[in-house]
Structure 1
Amino acid sequence: MTAQKPGLHPRNRHRSRYDMNALCQSHPELQHYIVQTPAGEPSVNFADPLAVKALNKALLAHYYGVAQWDIPDGFLCPPVPGRADYVHHLADLLAEDRDGVLPESATVLDIGTGANLIYPLIGVAEYGWRFTGSEIGSEAFSSAQAIINGNAGLTRAIRLRRQKEASAIFSGIIHKNEFYDATMCNPPFHDSADAARAGSERKRRNLGQAEDGALNFGGQQHELWCEGGEVAFIEKMIEESPQFGRQVKWFTTLVSRGDNLPPLYRALTRVGAVKVVKKEMAQGQKQSRFIGWTFMDDAKRRK
């Protein structure tokens, strides 16, 4: 019996321990990074950024049919199981407006899709959704476009738009007469470069790395921090959202810390959100959640 990882969504393909042999067959390069745990089982050194990247390549190839995937050095290398959880819980939220039927033709906007393009890749593979990914950084934009171009079928399912206005989130991305079933976002967490560095050091220490070692998951400035941190970023998203309330069924975003929720709920009250939901997620000991809000009543969302 394969051990189950507690907390992950029932449809998450990563609920069981990784089958390293199968992953190595899908991505042979992973074999170079296999180490033995004290219990004698194959694993990878999660403190080695090259090993983490190779594992991601294998997971994306094996489970999601992504043959070509890479990110530039220093960019965020996302933990795939947790990212998949957001997609599955979002599918459940959309299903609530469809009498419990999972949507097979949803259109989703991924705010800050990143060099890794992780949410569109999982959403296309699992549900056949169509994605628009917004990105402000030129190098991240080019990396995401290279992933799309390198995999058959993705050019029909995923399009990218460059956000040219640093202070805007939806403006300039959602065009007139466009409609989205949902937006999703993994907002920058820290409120300064110093806070981001301190967080990186904590992560390194937890992984047993030296102080000057490379951060296992990397991350560029706009991926990790913004003025005012996560709350300020999401509040900006909330403030902008009413302008597009007739074009988006559900606005959603990850919220990393539960104590960030009260000011966000107050902001949602101020803008007149018709309905607000919170979906709790967990991966082992790590707790996370996303919030969703809409300006449409039940009847309009069911159309």
Structure 2
Amino acid sequence: MNSSFMHPRNPYRTPPDFKELALKFPEFRKHAKQKLTGKIEIDFKDAAAVRALSTVLLKRDFNLDVELPPDRLVPTLPLRLNYLLWVEDLLQQVNPVSEQIVHGIDIGTGACCIYPILAARMKGWHFTATEADETNYKCSLETLERNCLQSHVTIVKVTAESMLHGNIDNSRKYDFTMCNPPFFDSDSFGPKSRSDKRPLPMCPKSGGSASTTEIAVKGGEVKFIENLIKECQELKSCVRMFTTMLGHKSSLAPIILLLKEAGASSWSETEFCQGRTTRWGLAWTFCDDLTVPKLPQIRPKNNGKGPPPLNYVISDERWSNKGDLSVACVLMKILELLNSLKMEIRKIKDKKDKKAIEFVARENTWSNQRRKQREGKRNSDQACEQPESKRAKIDGCSLELQKDQNFCLKGLLLLEETNTESIQLQMYWIEGGSGRESINQILQYMKNHLFEK
């Protein structure tokens, strides 16, 4: 998960420690798997594992006791929090909310009222949540009762044909709406013929089962939001700002055109990025006295591309006497070397002619660290015996050593077969360490100990 893409206040910018979760929660432990490197992971394609992860994080981080049904959409917390925190930023820009009661509407609240319960627990906000699905409605009611949140959240059972009209109290003022519409078009959702076998798409891709109505609707998300916009026009006197999440970037342009045609006074869009999943947010208003702010995008300055990789060609000559010149054999030797350097390894791609791994170094083990530590101890012992000018220099060395103790580097290594006589090695810096220089040092270490002995 690339934390630099996530909202600055999102607690999962620092990924959860799966080992800690496995030790604390038996329900999560049964889905945790220990790799040969010792790292604890789960299968994000396993809906039960993702469900267990979401429930234990809600319990640990927000004191929310939630039971998620096995046949409904699993709310992944980093994405939900990114959306919720963006709404909070919009409200702060439009009208600071620190001294007033905030009341929002969640259209189609899902199996556990995820947005309302998070907002109520974190911010003390009030919500009216609507839900058409009977299973989701009952589970959300039980969630509110179990967590004593009925004073902050009201859930309304509605029909699938109406999103807002007839479902809310028109006599009161609402600050915003939230919506996570079905992303897919139900007309092109199923198999095209009896012989076609099309797997049920998951939303998001990385984990979670769902009912068809949660992820597919006639006309897809554009048609869904078009119907919502029509209802918004009728409620512009009691709702100040409307927002929605979108699953496809291609939906933005047609929906913005619909907003223009409907007479929206202003609108704003954003991007929610968490790991490999990207979603889009859109906010609009029909109030002439309100301008929806265009907040800065939360993304790396270089648009996420990062610095270019370091390239190295492993030729037959450089690999002589080490076994077959194959991607599998070369990777095995590299893994042995990285393990000896006390690095954490995670496989990303595993094909015959192309393999990729992500590696994390918690300390610099490849550039004379033992010598540095000995020198640091020697300098510390001698510090009290030195004049003040020399002592300042020694203190500087101690600070450098302390920096090394906080060291953490993450990188990516890619091996690809170019022809029968050579293999292309690419190394990418992701974050931490001393930047690309650390990756350069590791590559040089590999050359000295593996490729150019």
For the superposition of Structure 1 and Structure 2, which TM-score range results when normalised by the shorter chain? 0.7 to 0.9
Task: Indicate the larger mover: 124-133 or 189-198.
Answer: 189-198
CA–CA separation in structure 2 for the residues paired with 1:267 and 1:103: 35
1:108-127 equivalences in 2 (<5 Å): 108-127=104-123
Which one has a bigger Cα radius of gyration? 2
**Residues 97, 298 of structure 1: 8 Å contact kept:** no
Partner of 2:40: 42
Cα 1:177/1:202, change in 2 over 3 Å = closer
Cα 1:202/1:170, change in 2 over 3 Å = closer
- C-alpha displacement at 1:103, in angstroms? 7.2
State the one-letter code of the partner of 2:174.
Y
**Residues 187, 219 of structure 2: 8 Å contact kept:** no
| TM-score of the two chains, using structure 1 as the length reference | 0.86
- C-alpha displacement at 1:202, in angstroms? 6.0
- C-alpha displacement at 1:221, in angstroms? 2.2
CA–CA separation in structure 1 for the residues paired with 2:232 and 2:8: 31
CA–CA separation in structure 2 for the residues paired with 1:203 and 1:262: 24
Cα 1:203/1:131, change in 2 over 3 Å = closer
Answering whether residue 178 of structure 2 is matched by residue 187 of structure 1, we say no
Matched residue SS, 2:264: coil
**Residues 91, 103 of structure 1: 8 Å contact kept:** no
**Structure (1 or 2) with the greater strand fraction:** 2
Cα 1:272/1:50, change in 2 over 3 Å = same
- C-alpha displacement at 1:21, in angstroms? 4.3
Partner of 1:7: 5
Matched residue SS, 2:71: coil
CA–CA separation in structure 1 for the residues paired with 2:99 and 2:241: 13
Deviations 1:134-153 (A, max 9, x none): 0001111001101111113x
CA–CA separation in structure 1 for the residues paired with 2:178 and 2:277: 20
Answering whether residue 28 of structure 2 is matched by residue 30 of structure 1, we say yes
Counterpart of 1:98 (choices 70, 95, 99) is: 95
**Residues 267, 291 of structure 2: 8 Å contact kept:** no
Cα 1:66/1:93, change in 2 over 3 Å = same
- C-alpha displacement at 1:187, in angstroms? 0.2
State the one-letter code of the partner of 2:45.
A
RMSD over aligned Cα atoms: 2.5
Deviations 1:110-156 (A, max 9, x none): 0000113211122112211111110001111001101111113x111
Partner of 1:146: 142
Counterpart of 1:83 (choices 80, 83, 93) is: 80
CA–CA separation in structure 1 for the residues paired with 2:33 and 2:133: 35
- C-alpha displacement at 1:243, in angstroms? 0.7
- C-alpha displacement at 1:285, in angstroms? 3.2
| TM-score of the two chains, using structure 2 as the length reference | 0.59
Matched residue SS, 2:217: coil
Answering whether residue 169 of structure 2 is matched by residue 175 of structure 1, we say yes
Counterpart of 2:287 (choices 293, 296, 303) is: 296
CA–CA separation in structure 2 for the residues paired with 1:178 and 1:131: 12
Cα 1:126/1:17, change in 2 over 3 Å = same
Partner of 2:60: 62
Matched residue SS, 2:87: helix
State the percentage of identical aligned residues: 30
Alignment size in residue pairs: 286
CA–CA separation in structure 2 for the residues paired with 1:134 and 1:38: 46
CA–CA separation in structure 1 for the residues paired with 2:281 and 2:190: 21
Partner of 2:239: 248
State the one-letter code of the partner of 2:277.
K
Unaligned runs of at least 5 residues, structure 2: 192-196, 293-453
- C-alpha displacement at 1:5, in angstroms? 2.3
Matched residue SS, 1:73: coil
State the one-letter code of the partner of 1:277.
S
- C-alpha displacement at 1:203, in angstroms? 5.6
- C-alpha displacement at 1:189, in angstroms? 0.8
Deviations 1:11-70 (A, max 9, x none): 101111212244346633212221124542112222222221111111101111102x11
- C-alpha displacement at 1:256, in angstroms? 1.4
CA–CA separation in structure 2 for the residues paired with 1:293 and 1:96: 14
State the one-letter code of the partner of 2:265.
V
Deviations 1:263-300 (A, max 9, x none): 11111111111111112221123322111111113469
Cα 1:155/1:195, change in 2 over 3 Å = same
State the one-letter code of the partner of 1:278.
E
CA–CA separation in structure 2 for the residues paired with 1:117 and 1:26: 25
Which fold has the larger relative contact order, with Cα–Cα distance below 8 Å and residues 6 or more apart in sequence? 1
State the one-letter code of the partner of 1:220.
S
**Residues 26, 58 of structure 1: 8 Å contact kept:** no
Cα 1:89/1:199, change in 2 over 3 Å = farther
Matched residue SS, 1:50: helix
Cα 1:103/1:188, change in 2 over 3 Å = farther
